[in-house]
Amino acid sequence: MSGKSDDLVLVINSGSSSIKYQLLDPESSAIAASGMVDRIGEPNSGIEHHAEGRTVEHHGPIADHTTGLKLVFDMFAETGQDLAGAGVRAVGHRVVHGGEVFYRPTLIDDSVLAAISELSSLAPLHNPANVAGIVSARKLLPDVPQVAVFDTAFFHGLPDAAKTYAIDAKVAAAQGIRKYGFHGTSHEYVAGAVARLLDRDRLEVNQIVFHLGNGASASAIRGGHPIDTTMGLTPLEGLVMGTRPGDLDPGIVPHLMRSAHLDIDQVDELLNRHSGLKGLSGVNDFRELQRLIDAGDDASRLAYEVYIHRLRRYLGAYLIELDRVDAITFTAGVGENSPQVRADALAGLSRFGIEVDPALNTAKSRVARHISTPGSEIAVLVVPTNEELAIARAAHRIVAADG
Ligand code: ADP
């Protein structure tokens, strides 16, 4: 195996029908293996496993997460990495919802697992899948410490005015209704990278981060601490996403139930899987959207305009909330790769001290970089996110501290 195996952390990000994984060195960030189990529970499940310069595939039905992970372990063995025998240092699990309970990476025992499971009422599409991943990994690697890293943790300390929804306070308290925020691991990782790029202390930097992937969110961070973020009780709120609408008039939900006779599961399905770019244009992938726009498709053009309009609305809000802003940063699939989105999101804002340099913006690069002009008061940056590395480092830290 490349690298000392006991330095490596296995990171598992398990979704409702998929498991993404990486085996990596938290110090050097070198990846020893990675892959994805796809379409769990469907007849055409599959696994793609990359290791030692090779790709190994598996095709055929995979009934559940445990079966998927077991097959992944077999594939590790096939590429010469005996995971069970190799003494991996820790398994780091991405867990979407930590509720009010979890606000830092946490070593998993039976009671932590039960608490994550209980939080499923707040994240019915996510936490059950995370629990399935944890249960499977504990079965397959019973002697390796498992650590949960929560998407909500970074936003735990949001100010009351930002996290409180203006509904009946007793109902909100009874149901745990508040803004929790998600993508926290990415926002925190990127905010740290921004401070390093600016050569400033993280606690001095005021910044806005746009994480634009399939899911999308923005955060306003003052001196290292988030003061606002776009996602809310669930990852549905805020920016327009691949299949999710972001902000909506809440009255739309009862209207759909009364007038279109949708039941609550159908509304959930509509909002989570058939809205956002997909709902407006038929496609959720940004590259396909761009191809359709180039081919003159009006619905796709409108989807793009709604997407940019929403970004700018939050940009304006966060410029005011933060007052002084040192950096605006784009990250994740769209943020890192679409100069068009970055240019349109920040167009015409020189009076606010924001000037994108067209040549820097369109230059191809995979590293953290400036894309603003030297005269831009606010630095505009592109910083590749790396949630797996952040999870691996957090898991490694917890395990090292635990002795
Ligand atoms: P996830 O939320 O699944 O982690 P990613 O951060 O990988 O998502 O982002 C996926 C999105 O990034 C997709 O919409 C994809 O089309 C978009 N994307 C990837 N590469 C490019 C590119 N070169 N130009 C525009 N969009 C891109």
Q: What is the average per-residue pLDDT within 49-53?
A: 91
Confidence of residue 16 (pLDDT cuts 50, 70, 90): confident
Cβ(18)–Cβ(36) under 8 Å? yes
Between helices 286-294 and 298-322, what is the axis angle to 10°?
120
pLDDT value at residue 85: 66
What are the DSSP calls for 153-218, one per residue? GGGTT--HHHH--SS-HHHHHHHT-S---S-HHHHHHHHHHHHHHTTS-GGG-EEEEEEESSSEEE
Please state whether beta strands 216-222 and 369-370 pair in parallel, antiparallel, or not at all (unpaired): unpaired
Between CA 383 and CA 170 the distance in angstroms is 41
Q: What is the average per-residue pLDDT within 14-41?
A: 93
What are the DSSP calls for 210-275, one per residue? EEESSSEEEEEEETTEEEEES--SSTTSSS--SS---S--TTHHHHHHHHS---HHHHHHHHHHS-
Give yes or no for residue 104 CB within 6 A of ligand 1. no
Contacting residues for 199 by C-beta, under 8 A, at least 6 apart? none
Give yes or no for residue 239 CB within 6 A of ligand 1. no
Give yes or no for residue 335 CB within 6 A of ligand 1. no
Between CA 231 and CA 335 the distance in angstroms is 17
pLDDT tens across 252-280, in order? 999 999 999 999 999 999 999 999 999 99
CATH class given for the domain over 5-150? alpha beta
pLDDT value at residue 96: 95
Which of these ranges, 4-8, 60-64, 365-369, has the smallest mean pLDDT?
A: 4-8
User: In 52-115, at which residue ranges do the beta strands (DSSP E only) sit?
Assistant: 54-59, 90-95, 106-107
pLDDT tens across 365-394, in order? 999 999 999 999 999 999 999 999 999 999
Relative to the CA of 341, which ligand 1 atom is closest? 25
Give yes or no for residue 334 CB within 6 A of ligand 1. yes
pLDDT value at residue 307: 98
By most ligand atoms within 8 Å of CB, the mutation choice from 22, 182, 337, 382 for ligand 1 is 337
330: closest CA among 387, 384, 388?
Answer: 384
Mean pLDDT of the chain: 94
For 11, 144, 340, 379, 401, the CA distances from 89, given in Å and listed in that order, are: 11, 7, 42, 39, 13
Q: For the chain, how big is the Rg over CA atoms in Å?
A: 21
> What is the fold of 202-387?
Nucleotidyltransferase; domain 5 (3.30.420)
Cα 48 to ligand 1 centre (Å): 19
Give yes or no for residue 181 CB within 6 A of ligand 1. no
Instruction: Compute how many other C-beta atoms are within 10 angstroms of the C-beta atom of residue 312.
Output: 15
Please state whether beta strands 19-24 and 54-59 pair in parallel, antiparallel, or not at all (unpaired): unpaired
Q: Is pLDDT at 4 greater than 70 in this prediction? A: no
Give yes or no for residue 15 CB within 6 A of ligand 1. no
What are the residue boundaries of the structural domains of the chain, listed by start?
5-150, 202-387
Residue with CA at minimum distance from ligand 1 atom 21:
337
pLDDT tens across 274-309, in order? 999 999 999 999 999 999 999 999 999 999 999 999
Cα 286 to ligand 1 centre (Å): 6
CA 288 from centroid of its chain's CA atoms = 21
Q: Is pLDDT at 360 greater than 90 in this prediction? A: yes
Q: Which amino acid does the sequence have at 102?
A: F
Q: What is the average per-residue pLDDT within 23-32?
A: 94
pLDDT value at residue 2: 42
Cα 121 to ligand 1 centre (Å): 29
**Do 202-387 and 5-150 fall under one CATH topology?**
yes
pLDDT value at residue 226: 98
Q: Is pLDDT at 402 greater than 80 in this prediction? A: no
Active-site residues, by number, are: 151
pLDDT value at residue 136: 92
pLDDT tens across 145-185, in order? 999 999 999 999 999 999 999 999 999 999 999 999 999 99
What pTM does this model have? Answer: 0.95
Instruction: At 67, give phi and psi (nearest 5°).
Output: -60, -45
